[in-house]
Structure 1
């Protein structure tokens, strides 16, 4: 360790374990560090970081008292509260695969597994702080949001032979700055030049991002598929695959890619939020419910632990229950109520009365108490729409639509869409979901729960054409439901067999057959449904 550099370095140690903190204090002092401050809680650490500039932050990954180090770092990055000139080092005794993946994904400056020796600390911190010090002029411009000046300073840095040991990091930083400055063509040429010399993973990922920004998606797809097969790039590759799939509106495939990435690194709450948005867009109510539950589990003791996420689990449970059979509906309601109980215990002072009334109204509707549900919704005030949370408004729109107040629901969805359009931070996936909800709720007056029952009654009365239309509406908003898929396929096949009209042929398109078969084969059928399915398959075979 350069003794002069150590004495100039202001250090913050964040750890709530007395013995670990004592050993770290001893080790740092042995290496010549003198200006050291300590915090054993995230709230204290945040106060220090917001008041002072630190050259080095050494943080325990797992803090028991409050929030853990993972979410502290996540918050600092998300709110741009960690200057790039500050070196951030995680320490952890836990080196299981998901922990390592989570830390690597956050991209701290270094990660030290406990126990470590003073010699190892000397080597790692010495190299890290020397690097930070050498690139300090570049970081200064980045901190001032003067990215073009940072790029120019970096170009000058790369012309100096004395800086050669830092060239790999400087080149990686150059690529990131080119992308941040939207110099996409230049970034593409830069990354290709790097790869021609040495095939760095970071250069390949940067090249893919350049391809996507330049709408050269075929080139991006070829390269990203290769990276998805490699352990060191798998996680980033799946995120880029999902980005491409979302760009092409292949939302089901994107959901699958996001879920694969979530299995690799399960603590990334933003990825679970993306899975939630994608599952809503694809009407995958089970995946929506699972993603909402994972967010609550992961958010515990973090900045993300808020009343809204518990409400979202209950809402997702009700959405799922609207499409489920009676037995599953009862289980989903019990689980939803359990999350509301947790919410009340964890946030006893939360102002959520109106949102709970909406949830109660939807639960009443599930129990066929529509009039009581309407009476409860009548108690809600319209004055708070502009300030109410978007998720709360969305649930309110669903509740009004379910009890038959279609126009009221559409007015709320109009408001949500306007607010999303005026908020650049709002997820584009969520905006697309709201627009989809508007279209579907304008065309389909009945709730998911009512659609299939209505279609069955029409079918039993012999009104095949009307039943077919209603089954199609039900399948539009419940494409994963095998029972509805079977009913639709059966009605369409019988309609074609009896009429052989062009309209009947159009109704039983190859696309419809494929989607119905996919839902049926992926789901579970009763014995009676299985027998009916085999008869329908025989009819289809004869017709086609």
Structure 2
């Protein structure tokens, strides 16, 4: 360690373990560091970082008192509160695969596994701080948001032979700055030139981002699929693949890509939130419920641990119950209620009375107490739509639609859409979901729970055309329900059998029938339903 550099470095150590902190203090002082401050809670660390500039932050990944180091670093990055000139190092005794993936994904400057020696600390910190010092003029321009000037300074840096040991990092930074400055064509050429010399993973990922920004999606897809098969690039590749699929409105494929990435690095809340939005768009209520539960589990004791995430689990559970088989409804309501109990225990002073009334009303509706559900909704305050949470408004719109007050539901959805359009922080996926809800709730007046029941009654009365239309509506908003898929398939097969027109028979190869078969084959049927399915398949085969 350069002794002068160590003495000039202002250090913040964040650790709540007395022994670990003591060893780190001893090690840093042995290396010549003198200006060292300590924090044992993430909130204290955050306050210190907002007050002072630190050259080096050494943070335990495993903070227990409050939120852990992962979410502290995530918040600092998300709100641009960590200057690029500050070196950030994670330390952790846990080196399991999901922890390592989580840390690598955050891209701190370094990661040290406990226990480590003074010699190892010397080597790693010496290299890191020397690198930060060499590129400090570039980092300072980035901190001032003068990215074009930073790019020019970096170009000058790369022309100096004395800086050659830092060229790999500087080249990577150059690519990031080209993308940040929207110089996409130049970025594409730059990354391709790097790959022609050496096939760095970071350059390949940068090239994919350039292709996507230039709408060269075929080239991007070819390369991203290659990288998805490699261990060191799999996580980033699946994120980019999901971005491509979302761009082309291939939401089911995108959900699958996001879920694969989430399994690799399970602590990324932003990814689970994306899975939640995608599962809504694809009417995958089970995946929506699972994503909401994961958010609560991962966010516990972090900055993201808020009443809204518990409410969202209860709401997702009700959405799932509204579309699931009747025998699962009580179990889902019970699970939703448990999360509400956790919410009340963890946040006893939360002002959520109206939101709880909406949830209670939806539960009453599930228990066929429609009049009581409607009476509860009539008690709500309708003067605070502008300040009410968007998720709360969305749940309210669903509740009013379920009890048959469609106009009110559509007005609320209009309000949500306007607020989303005026809020740049709101995700495009969520806005698309709201727009989809508006279309579906305008065209389909019945609730998910009522649609299938009505269609069955129509079918039993012999009104096949009405039953077919109602089954189609039910399948539109419940495409993962095998019972509804079977009912629709059966009604379609009978309609085709009774029809003599060639046009009707040509529809045998329609997307609708294919989707019904896909849902049935991937779901679970009762013995009676399985027998019925075999008979329907036989009819379709004969018609073919």
Instruction: Answer whether TM exceeds 0.5 for this pair.
Output: yes
Matches within 5 A, 1:381-460: 381-460=381-460
SS at match of 2:449: helix
Partner in structure 2 of residue 70 of structure 1: 70
Cα deviation, 1:420-446, whole Å, max 9, x if unaligned, reads: 000111000000000000000000000
Please list the CA deviations of residues 387-440 of structure 1 after superposition, one character each: whole Å capped at 9, or x if unmatched: 000000000000000000111000000000000000111000000000000000
Given the superposition, is the C-alpha separation of residues 410 and 288 from structure 1 closer, same or farther in structure 2, using an over 3 Å criterion?
same
Which residue pairs with 1:253 in the alignment? 253
Tell me the equivalent position of 2:127: 127
- What is the 5 A alignment of 1:360-399? 360-399=360-399
In 2, the alpha carbon distance for the partners of 1:286 and 1:10 equals: 49
Partner residue, 1:195: 195
Q: Does the 8 A contact of 1:492 with 1:504 survive in 2? A: no
Aligned to 1:44, the other structure's residue is in SS state helix
The CA RMSD measured in Å over matched residues stands at: 0.8
Q: Which residue of 1 aligns with 2:46?
A: 46
- 1:529 paired to 2:529: yes
Q: Helix, strand or coil for the counterpart of 2:91?
A: strand
- Counterpart in the other structure of 1:354: 354
* 8 Å contact from structure 2 (residues 505, 543) kept in 1: no
Residue by residue, what CA displacement relative to the aligned partner does 1:150-191 show, whole Å, maximum 9, x if unpaired? Answer: 000000000000000000000000000000000000000000
Structure 1, residues 180-209: CA drift from partner, whole Å, max 9, x if none? 000000000000000000100000000000
Equivalenced residue count is: 544
Looking at structure 1, the residues matched to 120 and 32 of structure 2 have their Cα atoms a distance apart, in angstroms, of 15
Following superposition, the deviation at residue 503 of structure 1 comes to: 6.4
What is the SS of the residue equivalent to 1:322?
helix
Q: Which residue matches 1:328? A: 328
Question: Which residue of structure 1 lines up, in the alignment, with residue 173 of structure 2?
Answer: 173
CA distance in 2 between counterparts of 1:503 and 1:429 reads: 37
Q: TM-score, normalised by structure 2?
A: 0.99
Q: Structure 2: which 5+ residue stretches go unaligned?
A: none
Which residue of the partner structure matches residue 137 of structure 2? 137
Deviation at 1:480, TM superposition (A): 0.3
Kindly state the Cα deviation for residue 500 of structure 1 after the two structures are TM-superposed. 2.6
Deviation at residue 513 of structure 1 after TM alignment = 1.4
Equivalent residues in 2 for 1:62-101, closer than 5 Å: 62-101=62-101
**What is the TM-score of this pair, normalised by structure 1?**
0.99
Residue of structure 2 equivalent to 1:221: 221
Deviation at 1:509, TM superposition (A): 4.5
CA shift for structure 1 position 508: 4.6
Q: How does 1:252-271 map to 2 (within 5 A)?
A: 252-271=252-271
Query: 1:512 Cα deviation (Å)?
Result: 1.2
Whole-angstrom CA distance in 2 between matches of 1:505 and 1:394: 41
Distance 1:506 1:424, change over 3 A: farther
Q: Secondary structure at the match of 2:382?
A: coil
Distance 1:110 1:131 in 2: 12
Q: Unaligned regions of 5+ residues in structure 1, if any?
A: none
Query: What residue in structure 1 maps to residue 538 of structure 2?
Result: 538
